[in-house]
Amino acid sequence: MGLLSRKVTCNSHGQDSSYFLGWQEYEKNPYDEVKNPKGIIQMGLAENQLCFDLLESWLAKNPDAVSFKREEQSIFKELALFQDYHGLPAFKKALVDFMAEIRGNKVSFDTDHLVLTAGATSANETLMFCLAEKGDAILLPTPYYPGFDRDLKWRTGAAIVPIQCSSSNGFQITESALEAAYQEAQRKNLRVKGVLVTNPSNPLGTTMSRNELDLLVNFVTDKEIHLISDEIYSGTVFSSPAFVSIMEVLKDRKLENTQVWERVHVVYSLSKDLGLPGFRVGAIYSNDPIVVAAATKMSSFGLVSSQTQYLLSAMLSDKKFTKEYISKNHKRLQKRQNKLVSGLEKAGISCLESNAGLFCWVDMRHLLSSNTFEAEMELWKRIVYDVKLNISPGSSCHCTEPGWFRVCFANMSEDTLKLAMQRLKSFVSSITIDNQTHQDLKNMRKKNRTKWVFRLSFQSFHDREQGER
């Protein structure tokens, strides 16, 4: 039998990681308010389900956008045939206006620099194909979105070298961390091609400070490398500090006609802000015409359906709608995040202070049996199988400190979130007692008694597991 390529046998698609295994468990036993109230609640999916009513009401008022009509005339044939990789002009215009609106119109974008792709997944991979190849590395601050391991490395052959961030300063990027990552890449004989940041951050849920952005600009200027800013969550910034886009920083520092200008690229998508991941709408924005030209051609491998481009051109051209949507989206996300934060607080759990995203970066270090990733996995498994919440362990995001978890809050109803918090509270109470008992007994010298306690506390976990299968 003919062999398959190395891409098939390698593991760079990352699908064997715990991040995906949690999903599998959820699929086997998904929570449903009515049909399966004891099932696993999905809190590992960064979806925005809070504003569908706004989209639905817009659709009801604008039937032409889905019936292939423009001003009562059928444009079906025109759309069916439209496969120009430059994209539907009306859609690109609407999209750049939307991107500017999200940034408070502090910056503007030119449609000539925008390349449409089938989702940000495609955009990030395409950019990597343009900027890097085997033997090259891209620096990414940790913790980062697990999908990057696949998106940036799998088919491109490029490598990721982490910029280690820690809780000591709220996981912000520092100059020394940047430099250390650069050196690490050199030690590995990799040519550093650029830095990729997600701003607002996934999984942290925070916007990057102006200081961090300045640091980045200085760093990539000094090293003469690229900077990719994945701003997929830019429309989810619900409280201060306000979102500062990398483009705003370049503009404020008057760097438009300098070399670094052409090395900065932005990635965007409508999957998070608009809650439309199924529609596969992503974009690359670059100031380098060569990158734009190459990426445009590459987008042939992942174009956005013209049917979808048309629908969204109509929707995003409706400025009354976009204004209302952006504002309501912010308010609802803020309200929901507050509910999660206070619910966690009641369970004695704190999280990183956040102002964006669809998730919180939760600190469960105090619940670990030891300061190790093994203990983090142990805890995660108990939360998935015992508490029946699928949350994402920090190790899947390459976090250097064990005990952090990403918990999503916008992909479920308020009641479901409430229930999840109740379950968590009960769980924390129970293991606090267990740990306390364990601690007391440990202080006694009888090894056998200690073993007996261990067996007891993990017994319940196994029993429940057996029962539920």
Instruction: Determine which one of 136, 272, 388, 391 is catalytic.
Output: 272
Residues from 162 through 201 that contact another protein (CB under 8 A)? 191, 193
Separation between Cα atoms, residue 409 and residue 44, nearest integer Å: 9
Q: Are strands 350-351 and 359-363 parallel, antiparallel or unpaired?
A: antiparallel
Nearer to another protein, 131 or 408 (CB): 131
Shortest CB 283 distance to another protein, Å: 15
Q: Amino acid identity of 33?
A: E
Separation between Cα atoms, residue 53 and residue 75, nearest integer Å: 27
Separation between Cα atoms, residue 293 and residue 288, nearest integer Å: 9
- State residue 63 phi and psi, 5-degree precision: -60, -25
Q: Which of 4, 35, 439, 466 binds another protein (CB under 8 A)?
A: 4
Nearer to another protein, 86 or 455 (CB): 86
Nearer to another protein, 12 or 435 (CB): 12
- State residue 101 phi and psi, 5-degree precision: -60, -40
The C-alpha angle with vertex 199 and arms to 196 and 201, in degrees rounded to 5, equals 95
Nearer to another protein, 13 or 330 (CB): 13
Instruction: Tell me the helix, strand and coil percentages in the chain, rounded to 5.
Output: 50, 15, 35
Does 232 qualify as catalytic in the annotation? yes
Those residues with Cβ within 8 angstroms of residue 305's Cβ, 6 or more apart along the chain or in another chain: 279, 280
- 140 closest CA partner among 170, 116, 160, 110: 160
Which of the stretches 3-11, 413-421, 430-438, 447-455 binds another protein when contact is defined by CB under 8 A?
A: 3-11
Q: Are strands 136-141 and 191-198 parallel, antiparallel or unpaired?
A: parallel
Please tell me the count of residues contacting another protein according to CB under 8 A.
Answer: 71
Nearer to another protein, 143 or 275 (CB): 275
Instruction: Determine which one of 144, 145, 268, 325 is catalytic.
Output: 145
Element (H, E) at 424: helix 414-443
Under rule CB under 8 A, residue 226 binds another protein: yes
Per DSSP, the three-state class of 252 is helix
Shortest CB 320 distance to another protein, Å: 20
Q: Which of 34, 35, 81, 254 binds another protein (CB under 8 A)?
A: 81
Burial 69-95 (b: 16+ CB within 10 A, else e): eeeeeebeeebeebeebebbebbbbbb
Residues from 112 through 151 that contact another protein (CB under 8 A)? 118-119, 121-122, 125, 129-133, 136, 150-151
Under rule CB under 8 A, residue 398 binds another protein: no
Under rule CB under 8 A, residue 34 binds another protein: no
Shortest CB 254 distance to another protein, Å: 22
The tally of CA atoms less than 13 A away on the side-chain side of residue 68 is 12
Nearer to another protein, 128 or 177 (CB): 128
Shortest CB 344 distance to another protein, Å: 25
Separation between Cα atoms, residue 257 and residue 350, nearest integer Å: 45
Which of the stretches 57-65, 102-110, 352-360, 368-376 binds another protein when contact is defined by CB under 8 A?
A: 57-65
Does 193 qualify as catalytic in the annotation? no
Residue 191 CA: distances (Å) to CA of 154, 194, 250, 265, 441: 17, 9, 25, 19, 54
Residues from 244 through 303 that contact another protein (CB under 8 A)? 263, 271, 275-280, 290-291, 294, 297-298, 300-303
Shortest CB 236 distance to another protein, Å: 16
Instruction: Determine which one of 163, 228, 232, 383 is catalytic.
Output: 232
Does 447 qualify as catalytic in the annotation? no
Residues from 356 through 375 that contact another protein (CB under 8 A)? none
Does 85 qualify as catalytic in the annotation? no
Q: Which of 17, 29, 30, 47 binds another protein (CB under 8 A)?
A: 47
Nearer to another protein, 50 or 347 (CB): 50
Which residue numbers are catalytic? 145, 230, 232, 272
